[in-house]
Amino acid sequence: MATTMVLLALVYAAFVVALLWAGMPWWLVLLVVGGVALVQYFASDRIAMAALGAREVTPQQDPELHAVVDRLCALADMPKPKVAVAHTDVPNAFATGHSRGSTMVCVTTGLRRRLDNVELEAVLAHELSHVAHRDVAVMTVAAFLGIVAGFLVQAGTRFALLTGGGRSREGGPAPAVIALLVVVISAIVWALSFLLTRALSRYRELSADRAAAYLTARPSALSSALVKISGDMARIPTQDLRQVEPFNAFFFTPALSGKGVSLSALLSTHPPTEQRLAQLAEISRQLGRGA
């Protein structure tokens, strides 16, 4: 995790330097990078909740769900986050929030229909691990560089096409040339950021699985939930999966768009289910030996 974050920081620094070298005004670099960073950090949780149709529920509205979260927070000795429910048949759960006061764990109605109480507790333990380890904030910070680069690729391409070639009135490079340089630099940075954030996301998912397995002392419950959810994803309409696919990095398991889709491990936000199950099986053996 530390190595990935260091590499992301180096890519970020090189990105800013390269934009200035390409001729992009420093105030515009500051405006774009700083503006996107602020929006991504402070508003990403509300954007995710609104997009998924999730709403916060009180202990009076959903006492059973709150009771599970209360018990897990007591076991983990951690502050209780807010609790939300999303009314969708996609079986999943996610955590969101950039700070302790804004953190929230959310489960879908589709998940609750498919899992028993023990399996639901295991999934919630996984999400609470993300909250306790500040994974959402880490992933938000890590992902913002790719968002900036992607935005500049689109904006720079449009600008270059509109302005055309030639040279500026002062004899320097034409605005279109500068825009094309920005596009090339941004595209390279986006690709690097994409790979690094995917690697970081996969590691954090394995870490959350480990924490949940040890917290509940029931690795088999998390394994069972993984198998159920992964299998049921194939029965969810493709349109529903595509609507939630942009939030894969937050989900307990990824929502794959379409049946028969096989994503390379290098590009996935989550480790292969087989790898997660193997890790949980090893933890189960350790717990059985009293390790």
Nearest to 247 by CA among 38, 48, 47: 48
Helices then strands, each counted (H, E), the chain: 10, 4
**Amino acid occupying residue 69:** V
**Helix (H), strand (E) at residue 105:** strand 104-108
- Decide: 215 and 72 in contact? Cβ < 8 Å: yes
Q: Tell me the three state secondary structure of residue 37.
A: helix
Q: How far apart are CA 99 and CA 194, in angstroms?
A: 24
Q: How many angstroms separate the CA atoms of 286 and 291, rounded?
A: 5
CB 94 within 8 A of CB 123: no
Catalytic residue chosen out of the listed positions 56, 64, 119, 127:
127
How big is the chain by its Cα radius of gyration, in Å? 22
Concatenated DSSP letters for 47-61? HHHHHHTEEE--TTT
Q: Determine whether 64 is an active site residue.
A: no
Residues recognised as catalytic: 127
